[in-house]
Amino acid sequence: MLYIRCKHKYMTWLRSIVLTAGMLGLVLNGPGLASAGVHPGHPAPDQGKPSLAIIIDDLGNGMKGTEQVLSLPAPISVAVMPFLPTTKTDAERAHSLGHDVLVHLPMEPNKGKKEWLGPGAITSGMTDEEVRQAVLNAIADVPHAVGVNNHMGSKITSDRRIMSVVLDVCREQGLFFVDSRTNFRSVAAQLAKEKGMPPVGNDIFLDDQYNLTHISKQMRSVEDRLKQGQDCVTIGHVGVPGLYTASVLKSSLPRLQGQVRLLGISDFVRNVWGWDPHAVQPTDKR
């Protein structure tokens, strides 16, 4: 009898463990990944392959390389600066071509000229409400935005107070934040985790030096990372390096096809983190 009772207790305990594990798996994986839609016109990603998202910054001002980037035959994501002459034109065109659009939000750097920031910048002297309104204004100015990333911003991304407000606004609007990682002391990823947002950030800058040799080398670093089975976000720019960057990407994309899941940034965060965007009520109604 003792043996039967012990066996019964053991089986009851085992069933509870299996049930708990199953429920935990559902919570950890979430419904977002299973139900996430793929961007219209893009093929469903091949499971098991590493994911790559390519973001091109600094659109919105008619910069060199814009047309070449938008014409790439792949789901490139573009980060468009707000309040500039071609902000809306670039965002609308990118969206019509099936590319994801980000708000390229100007943020104060530790070093650099203020005129490099552009209009609507987030600066360290702002109050929480001023930061909130500036982020909302920028989002409203860039059509079809699925997320936000920082333009410059080495000072702001290390400021926990300001970044908390920025991320709260993004979450309220159903957007995610991509940390360009211009400062290794950035708090963006940690705050994103705390707020239940994907801690997505740049892994490799393609064109931090403005020459074809360096950009090609950086692209090989991207490919090496992918060959190791690691997902990757890489950032390039229009402007001074724009034509070089577009050229390197155009020649590299055929090598990547079939080897990786080349995704727009919205599909990337859904597939890697199971991100399920939904607008929420403001966390701070002041």
Where are the domains positioned within the chain?
47-273
Which residue reads 């039967």 in tokens? Answer: 4
For residue 104, report the phi and psi dihedrals to the nearest 5 degrees: -90, 90
187 pLDDT band (50/70/90 cuts)?
A: very high
Could you read off the pLDDT of 77-110 as tens digits, one per residue?
999 999 999 999 999 999 999 999 999 999 999 9
Distance CA 185, CA 163 (A): 13
pLDDT of residue 160: 98
Residue-level pLDDT at 8:
42
- Greatest C-alpha distance within the chain: 84
**CA neighbours within 13 Å on the CB side: how many for 163?**
28
pLDDT of residue 18: 32
Read off the pLDDT of each residue in 37-65 and give the average, rounded to a whole number.
76
190-228 pLDDT, tens per residue?
999 999 999 999 999 999 999 999 999 999 999 999 999
pLDDT over 50 at 156, yes or no: yes
Looking at CATH, the fold of the domain delimited by 47-273 is given as TIM Barrel (3.20.20)
Is-contact 126 159, C-beta < 8 A? Answer: no
